[in-house]
């Protein structure tokens, strides 16, 4: 929706700003327009567009009957799109793919359509019409439009983990712009003033924002997340179902039990392998049992025989050497 913002309503422009530079440019241009006193510069148009959508930038000007050639320039964030008219023939010059010039001959209107707007396309768009022939160059009109690109949050609520008898639930709002967002926890339809909450904010590469809100509770039943943002027509309320809560808890229990079983099996396998390794090592160190029969030692010449006397003193009586006789074979 497009509407005209006059000087007394500069507060609304400030409320829609998200950067110091953008606000400064808007307010400066608004004040300078009023002081200059030109009727075609009395205000600035403000348009709010959702991310990925298109916007039409009008070009208000005063047609001149003696005009043979004029140019129409669209300037935004140090970028421009230029179109030249030469005796009702249009020529495009240095325009981006997402910018299209529209000429309505019946009403003699001109506008630029800017499509697929992203967050970094937020800013002041200025359309300038200048007569070039006949010389000298004469400005025929200038129109400024402030385009605010907004992105609605993608909200989800879930149970993340439970420990020491407490549950932790998460409300996640992703990809929203501008950065101002309201997030409140609810239980049984009533807003909660809970101190066990901590939030994590971060800026995404495309310039949007993400907010993670964690809540520690004794149980996660009947909780809801309430979110409000300027891109929403009404606040969003997402409920955390008890099934999701207990399903997560049961899943965590089974994961814990499975981990314990696997750990016990691993210990048993390692124990068996170590025992087998020890036995194999003992076998490799112990000598191989081979029975060796000792051969009788035969003296080639003499064999001394010792006999005991059967008399009273039991002293050994040396015997005379006995020759070893060989028997004929």
Residue 264 parent element (H or E): helix 242-285
> What pLDDT is attached to residue 186?
93
Q: pTM above the 0.85 mark?
A: no
Query: Does the structure show a pLDDT above 60 at 245?
Result: yes
C-beta of residue 239 within 8 angstroms of C-beta of residue 167 = no
Q: Which domains does the chain have, with CATH numbers?
A: 2-150 (2.60.40.10), 154-246 (2.60.40.10)
Residues forming a β-bridge with 56: 113
Cα 284 to Cα 24: distance, rounded to the nearest angstrom: 88
- Summarised one tens digit per residue, pLDDT across range 192-214 is 877 778 899 999 999 999 999 99
> What pLDDT is attached to residue 67?
83
- Summarised one tens digit per residue, pLDDT across range 290-314 is 454 555 544 444 444 444 545 555 5
Cα 84 to Cα 69: distance, rounded to the nearest angstrom: 7
Rounded to the nearest 5°, which phi and psi values hold at 221? -100, 145
**What are the CA-CA distances from residue 104 to residues 65, 69, 280, 287 (Å)?**
17, 17, 96, 108
Cα 225 to Cα 223: distance, rounded to the nearest angstrom: 7
Q: What angle do CA 277, 278, 281 make, to 5 degrees?
A: 85
38-45 mean pLDDT: 55
């Amino acid at each position: 929706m497009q509407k005209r913002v006059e000087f007394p309503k500069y507060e609304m422009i400030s409320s829609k700003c998200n950067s110091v530079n953008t606000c400064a440019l808007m307010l400066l241009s608004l004040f300078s327009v009023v002081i200059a006193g030109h009727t075609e510069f009395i205000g600035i148009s403000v348009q709010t567009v959702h991310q990925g959508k298109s916007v039409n930038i009008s070009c208000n000007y005063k047609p001149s009957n003696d005009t043979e050639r004029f140019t129409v320039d669209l300037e935004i964030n140090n970028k421009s799109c230029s179109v030249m008219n030469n005796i009702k023939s249009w020529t495009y010059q240095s325009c981006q793919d997402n910018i299209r010039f529209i000429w309505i001959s019946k009403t003699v209107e001109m506008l630029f359509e800017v499509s697929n707007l992203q967050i970094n396309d937020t800013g002041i768009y200025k359309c300038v019409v200048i007569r070039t022939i006949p010389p000298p160059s004469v400005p025929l009109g200038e129109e400024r439009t402030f385009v605010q690109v907004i992105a609605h949050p993608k909200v989800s609520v879930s149970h993340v983990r439970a420990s020491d008898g407490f549950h932790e639930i998460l409300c996640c709002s992703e990809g929203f712009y501008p950065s101002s967002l309201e997030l409140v926890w609810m239980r049984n339809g009533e807003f909660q003033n809970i101190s066990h909450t901590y939030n994590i904010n971060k800026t995404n590469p495309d310039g949007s924002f993400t907010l993670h809100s964690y809540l520690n509770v004794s149980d996660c039943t009947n909780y809801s997340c309430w979110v409000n943002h300027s891109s929403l027509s009404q606040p969003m309320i997402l409920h955390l179902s008890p099934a999701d809560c207990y399903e997560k808890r049961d899943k965590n229990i089974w994961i814990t039990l499975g981990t314990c079983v696997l750990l016990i099996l691993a210990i048993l396998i390692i124990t068996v392998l170590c025992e087998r390794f020890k036995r194999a090592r003992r076998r490799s160190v112990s000598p191989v049992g081979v029975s060796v029969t000792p051969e009788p030692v035969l003296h080639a010449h003499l064999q001394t025989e010792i006999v005991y006397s059967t008399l009273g003193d039991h002293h050994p009586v040396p015997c005379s050497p006995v020759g070893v006789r060989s028997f004929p074979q």
